[in-house]
């Protein structure tokens, strides 16, 4: 399930545009009251913890794990190892063990509970934990022995999970791989002769089977594209970037783990869940009308997840439809429970019960959910420090989620204004991707080159999904605002 657009920085230098970007991000951080800096006592506690982690007895450094992330990432939460077993598979998924370094109530823990999650905007990350942990001692960096929560999933021939356990173990990643690099391996470069080659070669096979199961289940995967920035001298540029197949295959392993975690906790009736209610039927009906307006065929008997899978994000009309479908993904939240299940347990876009457990370096609640699952698999009581946090964690994560959205949106607006600042008065070809219900003369457009999404206004109702000519009226970097009108 995907609904977010994230700006990535493809390149940057120290020229005028890069400086303007950094100054704009600093102003945004001040406006939102966030900072990448940690109080001295938190840094000191993190450094001490990095030097003395609590290490488990189980040693699985024999497994040739690898990590797959964006090229520049250093906060590596997940490492994978895949193998065949009979006509099925074994997925070993190692997750960074933050609790090996952070103790309940210590300065790092208190600060993480205040922050909730890492915030991302262009190349300016606000980390959840000090870098001495998140990008060093706790990160699953290559050729380093690290404590981890080792999830072992057994899958049948279709890729369906049939058994899961999680336990603490020492692991060692053999390589820090990038999405682009791994995709090139699958596209013809080959996997080399490293000890992880056979394991990595199964990623597509397992990933595609999990994607097929997602479709059978009725999961939703919106075809939305990222924006990628290049900053050189006094020039900003933006391009759209499509998700690589390997990113989807890799994401399926994270989802598999989240489903297994939810199963463990629901069965035991104690834990945390990521939830999303079923879409309002009126919203689905509205989307049917949108599809008709766009000239897209949506048979009445076709469920909306199946319809969404027919969309191509590179097609302007389809992109307008995909953006309209984000309405169905609103209202997500977290639920905690101990003894009695909450009224809502399912995440409707995933068509399953689900919980985040695979990104504890970047998201607070994953550490707590992981501890629940460890206790359940060991047939031990869930630690008191975990259960006592059930009351506050959902609210903490909702607040940090809102802040994360504001930070990302602010960065998008800043970069788009910077890209367009010297082109006020120019005319662009665009596609109308959204029309406001209360005023059809107002809406949003996508400009393909540069890759910009912005508000637009016209003197008459906007033609949803159609190509139009628009005039750039203003692009204010300081105010992070861009305005277009129909030409």
Alpha helices in 54-93 (DSSP H): none
The tens digit of pLDDT for each residue in 209-238 reads 999 999 999 998 888 888 777 767 667 778
- The count of C-alpha atoms lying within 13 angstroms of the C-alpha of 35, restricted to the half-sphere facing its C-beta, is 6
Does residue 284 lie in a domain region? no
Report residue 16's pLDDT band, with 50, 70 and 90 as the boundaries. low
Q: Which residue has the higher pLDDT, 421 or 338?
A: 338
Overall domain count for the chain: 1
- Give the SS3 label for residue 383: coil
Could you tell me if 27 and 375 are in contact, meaning their C-beta atoms sit under 8 angstroms apart?
Answer: no
Q: What local confidence, expressed as pLDDT, does residue 12 receive? A: 55
Q: What local confidence, expressed as pLDDT, does residue 5 receive? A: 53
Q: What local confidence, expressed as pLDDT, does residue 204 receive? A: 97
In the chain, what percentage of residues exceed pLDDT 90? 70
Sole residue written with tokens 């990095």: 50
User: Any idea what the Cα angle at residue 406 is, between residues 401 and 409, rounded to 5°?
Assistant: 120
Q: How far is CA 411 from CA 189, 234, 414, 479, in A?
A: 36, 18, 5, 11
Which tokens go with 399? 């607040």
> What is the reported pTM?
0.91
Which tokens go with 124? 């300016």
Q: Which of 335, 340, 321, 330 shows the shortest CA–CA distance to 278?
A: 330
pLDDT at position 3 over 50:
no
The tens digit of pLDDT for each residue in 358-381 reads 999 999 999 999 999 999 999 999
State the Cα–Cα distance between residues 245 and 10, nearest whole angstrom. 19
Q: What is the dihedral of CA 379, 385, 391, 396, to 10 degrees?
A: -120
Which tokens go with 10? 């493809």
Does residue 303 lie in a domain region? no
pLDDT at position 322 over 90:
no
- Give the SS3 label for residue 216: helix
pLDDT at position 350 over 60:
yes
pLDDT at position 270 over 60:
yes
85 phi and psi angles, rounded to 5 deg = -145, 105
C-beta neighbour count of 306 within 10 angstroms = 14
The tens digit of pLDDT for each residue in 48-66 reads 999 999 999 999 999 999 9
Q: How far is CA 144 from CA 150, 174, 448, in A?
A: 16, 9, 43
DSSP-assigned letters across all residues of 100-128:
GT--TTSHHHHHHHHH-B-B--TT--B-S
CA-CA-CA-CA torsion sign (120, 223, 436, 307): negative
Alpha helices in 218-337 (DSSP H): 245-268, 281-293, 304-308, 316-325
Which tokens go with 177? 């791989």
State the Cα–Cα distance between residues 305 and 213, nearest whole angstrom. 13
Does residue 108 lie in a domain region? yes
- Give the SS3 label for residue 11: strand
39 phi and psi angles, rounded to 5 deg = -60, 150
Lowest mean pLDDT among 173-177, 271-275, 462-466: 462-466
DSSP-assigned letters across all residues of 403-469:
HHHHHHHHHHHHHHHHHHGGGTT-EEEEEEEEE-SS-TTEEEEEETTTTEEEEEE-SS---TT-EEE
Does residue 373 lie in a domain region? yes
State the Cα–Cα distance between residues 136 and 43, nearest whole angstrom. 13
Q: What local confidence, expressed as pLDDT, does residue 6 receive? A: 57
State the Cα–Cα distance between residues 318 and 408, nearest whole angstrom. 24
Q: What local confidence, expressed as pLDDT, does residue 145 receive? A: 98
The tens digit of pLDDT for each residue in 383-405 reads 999 999 999 999 999 999 999 99
Containing domain of residue 92, as a range? Answer: 7-277+331-416
The total number of residues written for the chain in this structure: 487
Q: Strand pairing of 467-476 and 452-457? A: unpaired
State the Cα–Cα distance between residues 350 and 348, nearest whole angstrom. 5
Which tokens go with 277? 């209610």
Rg (CA), the chain: 23
What's the chain's average pLDDT? 91
The tens digit of pLDDT for each residue in 437-474 reads 899 999 998 887 888 888 999 999 999 888 899 999 99
Question: For the chain, first and last CA: distance in Å?
Answer: 36
Q: What local confidence, expressed as pLDDT, does residue 1 receive? A: 43
pLDDT at position 4 over 50:
no
Which tokens go with 93? 């998924």
State the Cα–Cα distance between residues 203 and 230, nearest whole angstrom. 30
pLDDT at position 295 over 50:
yes
- Give the SS3 label for residue 183: helix
Q: For residue 484, list its beta bridge partners.
A: 456, 472
Which tokens go with 204? 């597509």
Does residue 22 lie in a domain region? yes
Q: Which of 34, 51, 55 shows the shortest CA–CA distance to 111?
A: 34
């Amino acid at each position: 399930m995907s609904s977010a657009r994230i700006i990535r920085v493809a390149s940057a230098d120290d020229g005028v545009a890069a400086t303007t970007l950094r100054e704009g991000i600093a102003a945004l951080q001040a406006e939102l009251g966030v900072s990448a800096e940690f109080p001295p006592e938190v840094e000191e506690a993190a450094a001490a913890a990095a030097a003395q982690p609590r290490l488990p007895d189980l040693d699985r450094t024999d497994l040739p794990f690898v990590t797959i992330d964006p090229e520049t990432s250093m906060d590596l939460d997940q490492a994978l190892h895949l193998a065949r077993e009979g006509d099925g598979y074994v997925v070993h998924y190692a997750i960074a063990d933050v609790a090996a370094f952070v103790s309940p109530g210590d300065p790092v823990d208190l600060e993480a509970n205040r922050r909730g999650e890492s915030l991302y905007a262009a190349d300016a990350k606000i980390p959840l934990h000090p870098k001495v942990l998140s990008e060093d001692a706790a990160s699953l960096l290559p050729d380093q022995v690290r404590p981890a929560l080792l999830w072992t999933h057994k899958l049948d021939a279709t890729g369906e999970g049939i058994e899961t356990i999680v336990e603490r173990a020492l692991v060692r990643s053999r390589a820090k791989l990038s999405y682009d690099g791994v995709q090139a391996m699958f596209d013809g470069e080959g996997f080399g002769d490293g000890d992880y080659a056979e394991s990595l070669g199964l990623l597509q096979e397992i990933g595609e089977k999990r994607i097929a199961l997602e479709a059978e289940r009725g999961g939703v995967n919106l075809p939305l594209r990222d924006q990628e920035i290049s900053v050189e001298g006094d020039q900003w540029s933006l391009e759209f970037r499509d998700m690589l197949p390997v990113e989807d295959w890799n994401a399926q392993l994270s989802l598999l783990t989240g489903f297994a975690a939810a199963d463990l906790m629901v069965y035991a009736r104690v834990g945390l869940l990521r939830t999303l209610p079923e879409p309002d039927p009126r919203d689905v009906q509205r989307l049917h009308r949108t599809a008709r307006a766009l000239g897209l065929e949506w048979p009445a008997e076709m469920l909306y997840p199946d319809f969404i899978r027919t969309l191509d994000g590179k097609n302007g009309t389809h992109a307008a439809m995909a953006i309209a479908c984000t309405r169905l993904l609103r209202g997500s939240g977290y639920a905690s429970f101990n003894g009695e299940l909450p009224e809502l347990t399912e995440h409707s876009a995933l068509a399953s019960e689900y919980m985040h457990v695979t990104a504890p370096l970047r998201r607070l609640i994953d550490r707590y959910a992981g501890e629940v699952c460890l206790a359940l698999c060991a047939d031990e009581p869930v630690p008191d420090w975990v259960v006592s946090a059930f009351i506050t964690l959902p609210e903490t994560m909702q607040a940090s989620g809102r802040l994360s959205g504001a930070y990302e949106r602010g960065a998008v607006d800043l970069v788009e204004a910077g890209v367009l600042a010297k082109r006020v008065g120019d005319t662009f070809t665009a596609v109308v991707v959204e029309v406001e219900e209360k005023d059809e003369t107002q809406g949003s457009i996508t400009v393909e080159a540069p890759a910009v999404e912005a508000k637009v206004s016209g003197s008459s109702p906007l033609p949803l999904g159609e190509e139009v000519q628009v005039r750039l009226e203003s692009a204010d970097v300081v105010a992070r605002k861009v305005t277009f009108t129909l030409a």
